Amino acid sequence: MSEPGAGSDLAGLSTRAEVHDDHFVVRGQKIWTSGAHHADFCFCFVRTDPDAPKHRGISVVIIDMKAPGVGVRPLPELTDRHHADFNEVFFDDVVVPRDHLVGPLNQGWSISAGSLAHERGMMWLGSARRLDGTLERLFQLGRQQGPDGRRIGDSARFRDTLASLYVDSQAMWFMGYRGFAKFARGHVSPEHSVLKLFGSEIAQRAARLATETLGVDALDVDFQGWSFDESRGPVPWMRQYLLTYGGTISAGTSEIQRNIIAQRVLGLPRR
């Protein structure tokens, strides 16, 4: 979905797909494409009617990542020194068969709503499980001795913050179950936006608690006091904290989620 000039504003995408009788010709660039260097196909949002209003004229096509004209370039980042999850993808006159169109022509905007809701729901499931592991390691951290010689868990601030995080994590699980139950019945589920916002910011608070508690030790990204991520294994707390900022951006930034919640849940006017 994302492009250099169209991140949170999906409707601002400029990657073009010229429509022919039996195929499309795609030109443009995407960015922050997770796993593109491993992917066999990509689910690509393209503009098929440049004269239509920006929320219309968008279509979705499945593109073979080995097709001529597809180029992938990794985007290394500070928190991912060993392999690049993110990539730029370039499309230089890539021919895509017409039957690779997903849904009706020029109706990609409506597809994006379902796709993003699914992504946010899956992010909730993953982040809720990771948060459970993070909290367990915070409990372990609380049993350790702090710089002042006292047990870290004896600090009232540490205990209160950890208790608040635990309550919020349980609320996140229950809200997620309610949202998926609605989704399964075919109802609109605003919980997915709430969960994405809530979950990403809880994870950030949890990692911040650990880094603030460790003090100067946390400034060493290789310090062996770590959190744990199922996809990455042991992760030093400082790197875990830095990683949480990506969670507040992917699948729609926190600012975008607040706009969606304000308009679609609270019914506030758009300004």
Q: How is residue 193 written in tokens?
A: 């936006």
Angle between helix 108-142 and 237-247 (nearest 10)? 160
Which candidate in 18, 88, 119, 191 is catalytic?
A: 119
Residue with tokens 């001529």: 68
- Contact present, 142 and 152 (Cβ < 8 Å): yes
Q: Which of 48, 65, 54, 50 has the alpha carbon at shortest distance from 104?
A: 48
- Contact present, 19 and 48 (Cβ < 8 Å): yes
In eight-state DSSP terms, residue 139 is H
| 28 Cβ neighbours under 8 A, 6+ residues apart | 3, 13, 14, 15, 16, 46, 90, 91
Q: Which of 36, 80, 77, 39 has the alpha carbon at shortest distance from 232?
A: 80
Q: How far apart are CA 209 and CA 97, in angstroms?
A: 51
Compute how many other C-beta atoms are within 10 angstroms of the C-beta atom of residue 216.
Answer: 8
- Contact present, 248 and 200 (Cβ < 8 Å): yes
Q: How is residue 52 written in tokens?
A: 């239509």
Catalytic residue list contains 119: yes
* Residue numbers annotated as active site: 119
